[in-house]
Chain A
């Protein structure tokens, strides 16, 4: 059973979520997330192996349509809303050479 969320856990989760948080935020979020997870102890402590999980209120089925060409969003209109675009594509800073 997991216990209180630690400061290191919060720092790790922030990295996974691609958020930068400073030391003061780290303290605050550790306390606040801890209190929310404490409240969730009523759920966490239940023995529910015989209850199936529900991921969605209705059984989902794949929805398919005929494989026919039809109009879609206008490329130029979409790219006009991007922070940067070039030659019909989204433009981003270098990807290669980053630290892992």
Chain B
């Protein structure tokens, strides 16, 4: 059951603020009070923007009092992952290499949130440059899971997931390259969605792996995630990979149910490598059963190449990262470790500015692209990517949406997986296949697993299939057992 108090949802807040029933300032102050109370133990934010947010809320209240329609997110507090550029406001990617840098422009999504009437409360912590699955790879220290502060919130958008789970903001934005929205959403018991590649502009998102990176929403409810995605989606001339198709009215479809829809439970993502916990698999099967009980036709489907996704991803994403992160050289922005020559300055700046995981991925990517290894690693991975796309195409001929766990396990203790990078990478085994295919996918909380921690179920859809994906997600939300205690 969706037991979220509507007055605390973005949809409820926007309606109350637009009608004058509540002021944007009052809503903001309620959230700032919760932040005051728990931020010290959780560390969701790299930068809290309380003063800016108060000024913004007061301005919105004045406009509303003057009879103006300020937009669909009127007075809704929102947290932004700290790899989204905000003009004149620190944007660090949780890296020392960008510490102190103030972007000269806003990301397109930030401008759209402003136009929609939202109030930015802060920039959230992440794994450095979005590389990680626990938010432990931050130069500014880890974020803790609000449901159990001895555990990680997932990552890389762990700060955004934790901010929503702790009630610091009803909605947040993250970025997802191989699961960085969906996995932390699952571990924090909230909804997280990634769109079809190209649906949401990436202008102003600091690049990690350009053929995979996408921005998307976190929210406590499927409706709020839809509301936020609608507010930021759509073509943008500033992003050359932005697609022209108009974005659907997701919220109109949320109540349609799943009668007659064909739902495929992905066979390869029900076990195997990754350390799948039995409770996680049980909740996923129960989610499928719930959809069947609501009238969907549920069957098991094979997507054979999905088992190769992890290996392909950990060659492709580092390869792209090694190229994208070449721009951090101490010349144009951020840190400079000045030496006698420019070349020595590059080396010293990058060595001092990047953390261990970023260095590891840059080196792995450089190796996968280097002479003599390109065909064996990067080239092969690109061909595997084609196989995964073909296998998904075959599956979507017979099914409207596909289902799997979001993460093989519930939130794990801090420090549990930091010693061995590969163990950490295995967290992404279920989320990577749709990332490689460029398909939309989202995580919906569905009951609890080990230690009463939340389990997320992943709904995947073919390209441009957001409408059906949200429709199925809403049905899962309605059928879900009560979530983890807050």
Contact = CB atoms under 8 A, between A and B. Distances in A.
A77 B312 CA distance: 40
Given A17-B366, A53-B385, A98-B343, A2 B373 contact: yes
B438 A58 contact: yes
B38 interface: no
A84 B339 CA distance: 13
B197 interface: yes
A93 B314 CA distance: 36
B315 A74 contact: no
Contacts of B335: 83
A19 B351 contact: yes
A77 B104 contact: yes
A4 to B, nearest CB: 12
A9 interface: yes
Contacts, number: 176
A36 interface: yes
Given A20-B348, A55-B382, A73-B104, A2 B376 contact: yes
A98 to B, nearest CB: 5
Contacts of A53: 379, 382-383, 385-386
A interface residue count range (under 10 / 10 to 19 / 20 to 34 / 35 or more): 35 or more
Interface in A1-48: 1-2, 5, 9-10, 13-14, 16-21, 29, 32-33, 35-37, 39-44, 46, 48
A51 interface: yes
A94 B342 contact: yes
Contacts of A37: 364, 367, 377
B149 interface: no
Nearest to A57: B438
Interface stretch (B14-22, B173-181, B237-245, B283-291): B237-245
Contact of B315 (A43, A51, A60, A63): A43
Contacts of A98: 341-344
Contacts of A5: 367
Interface in B446-473: 463
A90 B332 contact: yes
A75 B311 CA distance: 43
A54 B105 CA distance: 32
B63 interface: no
B311 A43 contact: yes
A44 B240 contact: no
Contacts of B381: 40, 43
B102 interface: yes
A13 B366 contact: yes
B380 A95 contact: no
A60 B311 contact: no
A88 interface: no
Contact of B331 (A32, A51, A52, A90): A90
Contact of A40 (B211, B314, B347): B314
A92 B386 contact: no
B140 interface: no
A35 B422 contact: yes
Contact of B362 (A17, A77, A92, A93): A17
Contact of A57 (B341, B383, B437): B437
Contacts of B362: 17, 19
A28 B421 CA distance: 11
B246 interface: no
Contact of A82 (B322, B333, B363): B333
Nearest to B333: A81
A68 to B, nearest CB: 13
7 contacts: A19-B350, A43-B384, A78-B104, A81-B102, A83-B330, A83-B338, A97-B341
